[in-house]
Amino acid sequence: MGPSLARAQISPVRPRDPVEDHVNQPENDDGLFDHCPWLYAEQASERRRAAQEQRRKRLLEGAGSVRLGENCFVAETAAVYPDVLHLGDRSYIAAHAYVTGDVRTGADCTINPFTVVRGTVTLGDGVRIGAHSSLLAFNHGTSPDLPVHQQPVTSRGITIGDDVWIGSHVVVVDGVTISDHCVIGAGAVVTKDLPAWTVAAGNPARRIRDRREARGAAQRAEASGGVAPGGAASGSEAPHPAQEGSALVGELSAFATAARTQAADLLDRCRQPGTGRYVDRPGAEPTVRAHCDAVEIADLLLGKAPPHLPAAEHAARLRALQDPVTGLVPEYGAAPPVPGPAGLPEDGASAYHVLCVGYALDLLGSSFAHPVHTVRTTTADRLVRHLAELPWRDRAWHAGSWVDSWATAAHWNLRLGTEAAAPGALEALFGWLHTHADPWTGMWGSPTPESGRLQMVNGYYRLTRGSFAQFGLPVPYAERVIDTVLDHARDPRHFAPGRENACNVLDVIHPLWLCARQTSHRAEEARSWAANQLTAALRRWHPGRGFPFGPRPDGTGPGREPGLQGTEMWLAIVWLLADLVGLADVLGYRPRGIHRPEPALPAEGTA
């Protein structure tokens, strides 16, 4: 455990809480210390100390790997059957607690009466867990083809930081990280990660405020006739509790309102009245991607299809573009794409159309008319050979984007009820990726002298978006990925003022957001970077025209002119940035297409 505020502030003999002192203490009650272990250090008799020493000895000689720090206490009535139990100094497990699995605590941690801690659970220093709470670091599958008791058990683990207070009757589910200095209200059900200093409550738990804020500031402002933090006037609807006191809330709210108000005009300026097709920006040629970007933007800001046509007509036009032989989608006026050796072209619009057309159709309530046949027939051997031949060393973005397109095609095939690819190919993909990730960087590929980590990080985003994120699988070496990405984000060649573009910022925030689902490693640095980028991103909005993509060093792409591609990407970036700092709810939208935060929905019966 690293050094912490909690460690510095908690003395070897814990200061007694007046509430804890107010208990009846019959001298001969052997259950007193089991239920009130905070009294043990100062009040236990020699007889009771000898009994506790025997309890410790039995645990140390038991089947599991057990380490007990100084001045620990484990209640005689606690059911403690660990594979691994490491209790830090001055920590205790109280009466009728149920502890199994791999449980490790820092110093000054308390597992109070009737608490359940199971699975792989790590506590920092100074963690207080209230009575009747449950930390359940495992889960059962829910596939409809097996009874629940026969489902496989999975476990991602629970991590609790330093100086955390978890109230009574709280449930924390598998995969959650609660960062340093958090307070969780009684009865909460914590289903997602919580950033440092969060005060949270409810089912599911939601952020109420930052613990560093003065409690009741909003109520005091209202009582005095002023304006509460977040801009809500006295007598109006109060701001969402998670946003009280945040300087970003007003900007986010104003941006979201303006974007929704201007969305129809933004789409109008990029539609050709004669053909009904969409262009990225006035003066550009119509593209398939522009139509898909329009669908994504309309879904985000309007909650419906672009208003020029009914959703069914949008879907019909996009479905008609698919080549029935290959299952690929060419650009307007182009010949059907020529498949590559493992099913997809090496480059070009048709590879990205697997993503953008597929997700646009999904948003419209439709789907591809045909499977992506060129991927459906790809064998594991062909796929593995091609993966090895991709240019990971010097063109990792190209390699990662190919994996993204291939995995997404496999996903659409599953959604249509066909095979993803030839038997074993999808498994071979993930096997190859796991065995070829660099444990030092967590990535595939290498830095280059010309662009540093740009190719590697940008390729990582594309690769993991279509594979691990889309299929709901944890990424390997998440902490090393965060280190690599944060180092890259300091490169002035790509992130100096005026040099950021949508691609480069997206390819940093998505890996940070994705890995934060698995670890709290350098969480404060990631949140600080996200907050700074969020402020800058909101200022790039052009009224009635949307976001520009931003400059590229080679001068290609949509550049500084606002258009559909830049708008679609920056809307997703803004949501990811806001979510990492705990303010996404202010926006009133959530990506459901290419940049959706949840894993894509599987086909019926494939879960």
Q: For the CA atoms of the chain, what is the radius of gyration?
A: 27
* Assessment of whether the complete model's pTM goes beyond 0.85: no
Going by pLDDT thresholds of 50, 70 and 90, the confidence category of residue 140 is confident
Q: Residue count of the chain, please give it.
A: 607
User: Is the distance from CB of 150 to CB of 113 less than 8 angstroms?
Assistant: no
Q: What is the pLDDT of residues 22-52, one digit of tens each?
A: 445 554 566 788 888 888 888 888 888 899 8
Q: Is the pLDDT of residue 231 over 70?
A: no
Q: Is the pLDDT of residue 17 over 60?
A: no
How far apart, in whole angstroms, are the C-alpha atoms of residue 122 and residue 110?
13
% of the chain at pLDDT higher than 90: 67
Is 39 buried (19+), middle (13-18) or exposed (0-12) by CB count in 10 A? middle
What confidence score (pLDDT) does residue 236 get?
33
Q: Quick one: three-class SS letters along 415-471?
A: HCCCCCCCCCHHHHHHHHHHHHCCCCCCCCCCCECCCECHHHHHHHHHHHHHHHHCC
Q: What is the mean predicted confidence (pLDDT) over 370-399? A: 95
Q: Report the side by side order of strands in the sheet with 127-129.
A: 73-74, 92-93, 110-111, 127-129, 164-166, 183-184, 198-201, 206-210
**How large is the angle between the packed helices 311-319 and 288-301, nearest 10 degrees?**
150
Q: What is the mean predicted confidence (pLDDT) over 9-27? A: 43
Helix (H, G, I), strand (E, B) or coil at 172: strand
Q: What is the mean predicted confidence (pLDDT) over 396-424? A: 95
Q: Is the pLDDT of residue 232 over 70?
A: no
Q: Is the pLDDT of residue 227 over 80?
A: no
Q: How far is CA 483 from CA 141, 512, 597, in A?
A: 32, 10, 22
User: Is the distance from CB of 404 to CB of 467 less than 8 angstroms?
Assistant: yes
Q: Is the pLDDT of residue 365 over 80?
A: yes
Higher pLDDT, 493 or 20: 493
% of the chain at pLDDT higher than 70: 87
What confidence score (pLDDT) does residue 559 get?
65
Q: How far is CA 79 from CA 55, 113, 117, in A?
A: 12, 11, 10
What confidence score (pLDDT) does residue 554 get?
53
DSSP structure class, residue 28: T
Question: Which of 148-152, 161-165, 508-512, 531-535 is least confident?
Answer: 148-152
What confidence score (pLDDT) does residue 46 get?
87
Q: Is the pLDDT of residue 551 over 90?
A: no
Going by pLDDT thresholds of 50, 70 and 90, the confidence category of residue 94 is very high
Higher pLDDT, 127 or 154: 127
595 catalytic? Reply is no
Q: φ and ψ at 419, to 5 degrees?
A: -70, 145
Q: Is the pLDDT of residue 12 over 70?
A: no
What confidence score (pLDDT) does residue 19 get?
42
Q: What is the pLDDT of residues 397-406, one digit of tens each?
A: 999 999 999 9
What confidence score (pLDDT) does residue 86 get?
93
How far apart, in whole angstroms, are the C-alpha atoms of residue 160 and residue 382?
44
What confidence score (pLDDT) does residue 332 get?
95
What confidence score (pLDDT) does residue 552 get?
64
Q: What is the mean predicted confidence (pLDDT) over 137-152? A: 82
Q: What is the mean predicted confidence (pLDDT) over 194-202? A: 91
What confidence score (pLDDT) does residue 250 get?
87
What confidence score (pLDDT) does residue 214 get?
57
Going by pLDDT thresholds of 50, 70 and 90, the confidence category of residue 248 is confident
Q: What is the mean predicted confidence (pLDDT) over 80-84? A: 92
Going by pLDDT thresholds of 50, 70 and 90, the confidence category of residue 579 is very high
Question: Which of 55-64, 111-120, 383-392, 576-585 is least confident?
Answer: 55-64
Q: What is the pLDDT of residues 284-336, one digit of tens each?
A: 999 999 999 999 999 999 999 999 899 999 999 999 999 999 999 999 999 98
What confidence score (pLDDT) does residue 150 get?
81
What confidence score (pLDDT) does residue 553 get?
55
Q: What is the mean predicted confidence (pLDDT) over 195-203? A: 90
| Whole-number average pLDDT of the chain | 86
In terms of C-beta distances under 8 Å and separation of at least 24 residues, what long-range contacts does 191-194 make, across chains too? 193/516, 193/517, 193/520
Paired with 82 in beta bridges are: 101
What confidence score (pLDDT) does residue 368 get?
97
Q: What is the pLDDT of residues 479-529, one digit of tens each?
A: 999 999 999 999 988 998 778 899 999 999 999 999 999 999 999 899 989
Tell me which of 35, 140, 181, 411 is the catalytic residue.
Answer: 140
